[in-house]
Structure 1
Amino acid sequence: MKGKPGRKEGGTRARVRNELAIQIGKVARDARLKLKLTQEDIAERVGLTAEVYGRLERGTMLPSTPTLTKICVALGISADVVVGLANKEATQMQPAPDEEPPQEIRRLLRLVRTMDDEQLAIFKGMATGFAKLNRRRQQSKRDTSQVTAT
């Protein structure tokens, strides 16, 4: 079979690449679920579309080195763990607990980022109104509790 050298070697490379993609995807998914994040959350932090990040988690594609680095940072996990060179517990990086906003706020932020200037102005006005209403309610509760305490 002249003209097709290394065919067997190419098959081995493809299998190793496939196994690596599956390894990366499994570890990334486990870490994401442990952090209670969505694929959209990680995709946004990494700079990918949710669809592409989903393919990475399913093990159907390998990330580039810069993307792998961003995924590791977003998930707070060592690249050695992601590619299967180290034990998860030995090299787990812990993100600061106060850095992570609740899921509802993350979704709201994604929505706000898609708004144009007019929509943002309306949204800001509504948010300001809700904040004022909340302050009034809190003040009213304080006033009521002070009256009942005396």
Structure 2
Amino acid sequence: MQAGASARTHKVDAVKTHPEGSASTRKSPRARQGRPSDRARQSRQQLERRLAVSVGEEARSARMRAGLTQADVAERIGIAAEVYGRMERGKMMPSVPTLFRLCLALRLSADVGLGLVTAASVGAALWEEDSRDKDHLPEMRRLLRTLRRMSRGQLKLVNQVAAAILPQR
């Protein structure tokens, strides 16, 4: 700035507006009926967050099973490692083509990745020792309900059949 020159200031016009806009731009009650309600919008956002978390969790577990790094998977599906990291943390949803490439790269079922079925309900780790939540599976609950209705003799027979078909430990 030159000596003696004054600093220029710009005048900004401030316009007071009603929270819903000026009278000419306010929507009539009839026009507002077409907009989605706040509750519906929140429900949709909550569903999208749950979906993003589900995809991220399943992608992470599939990546770990395959012994890959985030950078490996990102390179295979053609996205930046930082983007893949955000996706795996459930902070963003992949596009449909990216989700397709992710499922192919990780050999992940789209149903499992989207949370439509859990890996346990399609048979993975159903009877494995490290399956912590096997008591909560629908198949296990159904079996327990059936067993509770059986007589003592029927239970003995089921136990013998189970012992015969399960591998010895």
Superposition TM-score, scaled by structure 1 size: 0.57
- Pick aligned residue for 2:102 from 43, 49, 71: 71
Highest CA radius of gyration, 1 or 2?
2
Task: Call closer, same or farther: CA 1:81–1:6 in 2, change over 3 Å.
Answer: same
Shift of the alpha carbon at 1:86? Answer: 2.0
Distance 1:78 1:5 in 2: 33
1:84 is aligned to 2:121: no
RMSD value, Cα: 1.9
Q: Quote the sequence identity (%).
A: 45
SS in 1 for 2:97: helix
1:34 alignment counterpart: 65
- Pick aligned residue for 1:24 from 48, 55, 59: 55
**Where do 5+ consecutive residues of structure 1 fail to align?**
93-150
Shift of the alpha carbon at 1:52? Answer: 0.3
**Where do 5+ consecutive residues of structure 2 fail to align?**
1-19, 21-28, 125-169
SS in 2 for 1:62: coil
1:43 alignment counterpart: 74
Q: Which has the higher contact order (CA 8 A, sep 6+)?
A: 1
Deviations 1:61-87 (A, max 9, x none): 001111101000010011000011123
**Structure 2 letter corresponding to 1:75:** L
**Structure 2 letter corresponding to 1:87:** T
Shift of the alpha carbon at 1:50? Answer: 0.1
Distance 2:97 2:82 in 1: 18
Runs of 4+ with deviation above 6 angstroms: none
- Count residues with an aligned counterpart: 92
Larger fraction in helix = 1
**Structure 1 letter corresponding to 2:90:** G
- Pick aligned residue for 2:89 from 58, 63, 66: 58
Is this contact kept in 2: 1:28–1:82, CA < 8 A?
yes
Shift of the alpha carbon at 1:5? Answer: 4.2
